[in-house]
Amino acid sequence: MATRPSFTHAFEDWIDWLVHVKKSSPHTVEAYERDMRDFLAFLTGHIGGEPELSDLEDLRAADFRAYLAYRRQEGLTATSLRRVLSSIRSFFKRLEREGYLHNPYLKTLKTPKAGTRLPRPLAAEDTKKLLDGPRGKWEPNWVHHRDLAVLTLLYGCGLRIGEALALNYETRPRSDAMTLIGKGNKERMVPVLPAVRQAIDLYLKECPFTFKGSDPLFIGRRGKRLSPRAIQLKMEMLRRKFGLPETATPHALRHSFASHLLAGGSDLRSIQELLGHASLSSTQRYTDLDTEKLLAVYDKAHPKS
């Protein structure tokens, strides 16, 4: 077995591998890093001290199950637990490939089965309230317009939040359609409503920072790429303001996009293409649609068109 590096070095090497070798999205890297830090914090109490790489090798299946049970008690869904386990497995697999440790017990764990809970889209009138929402008391005007631009993009184009926040200035929507690299590095064409472009243009006009080329389109107050948490907090503020349920999340806007198109007369396969899904069910595969058909479906069915 190779000489083990420090835990900090191994952790940083894993993050670097996710970013530069595996080329995971910023959203995935952030989620994986957060999951592993939570796991390590749990282990600190579980084994009575900060874990070293040798401690990870000594973990048994019961230790991993104890952590998953702990997170389940915190309210994590089966889907979130699947991602947590995926994060831990990614870290361990990287260490094993480098010859730093070998733990056979992690592979014996069964992946938590995802539930069949249906998405809960927002009513059209509630969506309009959110997209026209008020500015927070201590919120700079440009931050308010930035957050509304992101929310408008999620609903108007059906984007995942990670896809929206991964956009750069040079790839921002500037016409009636844009090409997007989505989940699994799959490319799809996304129609863009004038309301979406207007929201983004207003944000850029109000923003005190200057942009060029590959700069992140949506940035935080320090000029760095915006974290999904900022948009989640904005949604929390708005749903309290309007008395909406906790299911009114940024991702609910993507579900609302699909639901409202379906209610407007669009067919499932067209929506499937717009969302970038590999399938809408375990038995249905999506079909190729040309750009003209997608734009026609979108313009006819979307409530804001």
Catalytic residues: 160, 183, 251, 254, 277, 286
CA–CA gap between residue 38 and residue 32 (Å, rounded): 10
Evaluate whether 31 touches 87 at the Cβ level (below 8 Å). Answer: yes
> CB neighbours of 49 closer than 8 A, spacing ≥ 6?
none
Q: What is the DSSP code (8-state) at residue 219?
A: B
CA–CA gap between residue 37 and residue 73 (Å, rounded): 18
Helix spans in the chain (H): 7-20, 26-47, 53-58, 61-73, 78-97, 124-131, 141-157, 161-165, 194-206, 228-242, 250-263, 268-275, 291-301
Q: How far is CA 127 from CA 32, 87, 160, 218, 250, in A?
A: 30, 33, 16, 21, 11
CA–CA gap between residue 203 and residue 198 (Å, rounded): 9
Evaluate whether 153 touches 200 at the Cβ level (below 8 Å). Answer: yes
Count CB neighbours of 113 within 10 A. Answer: 10
Helix spans in 158-277 (H): 161-165, 194-206, 228-242, 250-263, 268-275
Evaluate whether 156 touches 304 at the Cβ level (below 8 Å). Answer: yes
As given in the structure block, the two tokens for residue 71 are 């997170």
CA–CA gap between residue 249 and residue 137 (Å, rounded): 21
CA–CA gap between residue 224 and residue 103 (Å, rounded): 37
